[in-house]
Amino acid sequence: MRYQHVCLEAFGYVLPEETVSSSQIETWLAPLYRRLRLPEGRLELMTGIRERRFWPAGMLPSEKSVESAERAIAAANIDKAEIGALVHASVCRDHLEPATACKVHHRLGLGPHCQIYDVSNACLGVLNGMVQVANMIELGQIRAGVVVATESSRQLVETTIAELNRNQSLTREQMKLAIASLTIGSGSVAVVLADRQLSRTQNRLLAGMAGTNTSFHDLCHSGRDEAVADEMQPLMQTDSERLLHAGIDTASQVFGSFLDELGWRSEQIDKTFCHQVGVAHRKLLFKELGLSPEADFSTVEFLGNTGSVAVPITAAIGIERGHLKAGDQVALLGIGSGINVLMLAVDWQRAAAAASSVKLRPHHHEATRQPIAAR
């Protein structure tokens, strides 16, 4: 995938106010920890995640998707009449139908000829949506488009805690299949892509490369699909260790093709934003790809794994904090269960206006609201 006419114009994001530390989750898991004689601090030690965030109970994804998209559009300073596509790309959605994009489109007041639909592909949804919008721009079908996603972790984390405390037959080995579910965090992000002639930033999307190894599709899976986001009680099983190594192996193969497509060497990549799973994953991934960890910006320690939101919201925060400078060659490295990999290259020039909410502080107070399992 090569692009000549597409620019990564702006980001907008929203973060929940409520933070939940890994130590607080272990407090809620006290019955399980006592029964299995697990040491405190295990969760943060294994993942490197200090905390993650929760939206208020009952909140639908569309509510925050509208806010993130408004922020991104304002930062891009693009007339809404120019937006020809809206893709809602998170795992979480309001209902099975209609598409969550319908409500977001209505609330944003976008035009009647704007293409709208949902895309869901685990942690790659937003990057997939960006490619689809970029293709439309490159073909001259539209001048600008928005990809937006809102992931909500409360239901999954609370349901997992309840099940771990309820099931008295669980062993330490079986518990490992639930660890990944306890790392999930919430967030909302939107990305505006624009035709180069419309762009004010000239942050050109250069190329992309996709790859997959579906022989590992069963290493991470949830229960059946359910409607009504605020009433779901999801559970997931993840073979984290096998998924980590299989994902990195697949990413390594795709990365070689990615460099060939660009005509780059790995040392020509100045900055990176990669999927935020855990500290061990990041360390092994960068060693395998031959990239410098100093080139990367990380949010997993204080946001957890935010699924499809992870790469773009990490980029948005990194840009706000000055991680990029004019002329940087940037790689967005997406890895999702399935296993799917998608990598995008951007020639960075300058940031649009800041468009975030919830200022990140060095330290957060722990949440006091108890989950379902503890009430």
Q: pLDDT digits over 235-254, tens only?
A: 655 555 665 667 687 887 88
Tell me the C-alpha distance between 11 and 356, whole Å. Answer: 8
123 closest CA partner among 278, 357, 335, 372: 335
For the full predicted model, state whether its pTM sits above 0.85: yes
Q: For 293-344, what is each residue's pLDDT tens digit? A: 889 999 999 999 999 999 999 999 999 999 999 999 999 998 876 688 899 9
User: Which domains does the chain possess?
Assistant: 6-20+56-153+184-347 (3.40.47.10)
So what's the pLDDT on residue 276? 75
**Is-cis flag, bond preceding 78, omega within 30?**
no
pLDDT at 2 over 50: yes
Q: Which of 97, 226, 241, 267 is catalytic?
A: 97
Active-site annotation holder among 7, 114, 123, 220: 123
Question: What span, in angstroms and rounded, lies between the C-alpha atoms of 373 and 375?
Answer: 6
Structure tokens at 253: 């193969």
pLDDT at 113: 95
Contact 24, 49 (CB under 8 A): no
Residue 365 scores a pLDDT above 80: no
- CA dist 77 and 73 (Å) reads 6
Q: 166: closest CA among 47, 44, 31, 49?
A: 31
Name which of 62-76, 139-153, 277-291 the model is least confident about: 277-291
Dump pLDDT digits (tens) for 255-282.
889 999 999 988 899 999 988 777 777 7
Contact 51, 299 (CB under 8 A): no
- At 368 the pLDDT is 39
For the cut 50, the answer to whether the pLDDT of residue 371 exceeds it is: no
The single-letter DSSP state of residue 19 is E
Active site residue 97: yes
Comparing 220 with 177, the larger pLDDT belongs to: 177
Q: Which of these, 42, 30, 19, lies nearest to 176 by C-alpha position?
A: 42
Residue closest to 1 by CA, chosen among 122, 133, 143, 119: 133
d(CA 193, CA 147) in angstroms, rounded, equals 8
Is it the case that residue 14 has pLDDT exceeding 80?
yes
Reduced 3-state DSSP string for 105-170: HHHHCCCCCCEEEECCECECHHHHHHHHHHHHHHCCCCCEEEEEEEECCHHHHHHHHHHHHHCCCC
Mean pLDDT of the chain: 86
Tens of pLDDT along 48-104?
999 999 999 999 999 999 999 999 999 999 999 999 999 999 999 998 899 999 999
Chain centre to alpha carbon of residue 71: 18
